[in-house]
Amino acid sequence: MTTILAIESSCDETAVAISRDGREILSSVVLSQAEMHALYGGVVPEIASRKHIESITDLTRTALSEANLTAKDLDAVAVTYAPGLIGALLVGVGFAKGYAYANGLPLIPVHHIRGHIAANYIAFPELKPPFVCLVASGGHTLFVDVKDYTKFEILGSTRDDAAGEAFDKCARVLGLPYPGGAEMDRLAAQGDATRYKLPRANIRGEELDLSFSGLKTAVINLVHHAEQVGEEIVKPDLAACFTDAVCDAIVPRAIEACRRAGRKTFVIAGGVAANSHLRARLQKEADRAGLTTYFPPLSLCGDNAAMIACQAYFEYQAGVRAGLDLNAYATMAVDEEPKL
Ligand code: KG4
Ligand code: ZN
């Protein structure tokens, strides 16, 4: 039996969770700072770091008490060490190092995107690699061939903005509060997806790569132009058109990624994977292509530490250990060897 306590602090959620043998989650606590950052229309890195420092000790106590455990019951401490906001990551890494040292526990570094993928192992006990996973979050959008629990290959990714970033920016120009992804989802459900013409980007020679910056700029220009000529933007319609453009970019590439990798199982992960329109379109096309799909519950799409605690088990099994000189990294590809 392997019990792991995991810390997640890569962006604006401070989270602690405890896993048993990977897939069983004994406790999981998440403290979102979103309301605080909403005042500024986006995440303020320095505020994020300070808030992590304020809450990480209490959250760890809560996670232990909810699981009815003490430090003596743990086999390892895990922490998200990349990618993310460097100051925010360093809070988690520093805390995890201290906790591991004080309690004589091994330290396991976990890649945030690997954690998002692992959220599916919690939701679906029968799910095993290999499979193709679409990871769509606030900072990343990529197709990954998950060859094994700790072996990954990137099949395609965004060249510029992540889908979540584009959702949040579009929401912002429409005057919706940060983070606007979920509200865009609700608005799009009532909108007419044919009213506004928005661009779709193709990257010659790299058919599985994506680009969302042109779409983002087109939305900003459209809204500014409307303001200048005194036209009213129909918000649900723009949300629907925008969502349609994002789906047009992601859905066919997801199916093609499965075909190229020779996988019959398709999985999704990350905050944008909560989008109901994207899920419906992916489900339809995956069914048509004869793929088996796993779409995690919304509670496991956004940032949490349960997914980190789950992936940590597989890293632990693979022998991954960090020393007390472990660093945090703002950027790191999901298929890179762990930097220990
Ligand atoms: O995975 P996540 O919680 O954090 C990162 O690692 O980035 O993703 C957050 C992103 C935000 O951009 C948020 O607006 C977006 O996920 N998001 C959504 C929805 N729910 C959250 N985007 C579209 N539709 C949603 N329902
Ligand atoms: Zn994330």
From 12, 43, 80, 137, the mutation candidate for ligand 1 (largest count of ligand atoms within 8 A of CB) is 137
Residue type for position 261? A
Residue 338 pLDDT grade (very low, low, confident, very high; cuts 50, 70, 90): very high
Task: Calculate the CA 15 to chain-centre distance.
Answer: 14
- In short, whether 92's Cβ falls inside 6 Å of ligand 1 is no
Write the DSSP symbol of residue 42.
Answer: S
Nearest residue to 216 via CA among 252, 184, 170: 170
Q: pLDDT tens, 139-165?
A: 999 999 999 999 999 999 999 999 999
Residue 317 pLDDT grade (very low, low, confident, very high; cuts 50, 70, 90): very high
From 176, 272, 331, the mutation candidate for ligand 1 (largest count of ligand atoms within 8 A of CB) is 272
In this structure, the residue with its CA closest to atom 23 of ligand 1 is: 181
Residue 46 and residue 36 in contact, taking contact as beta carbons nearer than 8 Å = no
CA 114, 119, 122, 128 dihedral sign is negative
Helix (H) or strand (E) holding 29: strand 24-32
Residue type for position 287? D
Pair of tokens at residue 255: 């199916």
122-146 in b/e form (b: 16+ CB < 10 A) is: bbeeebebebbbbbbbbbbbbbbbb
- In short, whether 84's Cβ falls inside 6 Å of ligand 1 is no
Pair of tokens at residue 187: 């608005």
- Is pLDDT of 307 > 90? yes
Mean pLDDT of the chain: 97
Longest dimension (CA), the chain: 67
Ligand 2 centre distance from Cα of residue 226 (Å) = 34
In this structure, the residue with its CA closest to atom 7 of ligand 1 is: 138
Per 3-state DSSP, the chain is made up of helix, strand and coil in percentages (nearest 5) of 45, 20, 35
**pLDDT on residue 189:** 98
Q: What CA–CA distance (Å, rounded) separates 104 from 220?
A: 53
**pLDDT on residue 48:** 97
**pLDDT on residue 340:** 86
Q: List the shell of residues around ion ligand 2, using CB closer than 5 Å.
A: 137, 303
Nearest residue to 303 via CA among 7, 4, 3, 2: 7
Q: pLDDT tens, 203-244?
A: 999 999 999 999 999 999 999 999 999 999 999 999 999 999
Query: CA Rg, the chain, in Å?
Result: 20
Per DSSP bridges, beta strands 24-32 and 13-20 are: antiparallel
- In short, whether 304's Cβ falls inside 6 Å of ligand 1 is no
User: Could you count the other beta carbons within 10 Å of the beta carbon of residue 32?
Assistant: 16
Ligand 1 centre distance from Cα of residue 164 (Å) = 5
Q: pLDDT tens, 36-65?
A: 999 998 999 999 999 999 999 999 999 999
Write the DSSP symbol of residue 177.
Answer: P
Ligand sitting nearest the alpha carbon of 277: 1
Q: pLDDT tens, 80-113?
A: 999 999 999 999 999 999 999 999 999 999 999 9
Domains of the chain with bracketed CATH: 3-117+301-317 (3.30.420.40), 129-295 (3.30.420.40)
Residue where the block lists tokens 């790191």 = 332
**pLDDT on residue 40:** 92
Q: What CA–CA distance (Å, rounded) separates 60 from 216?
A: 39
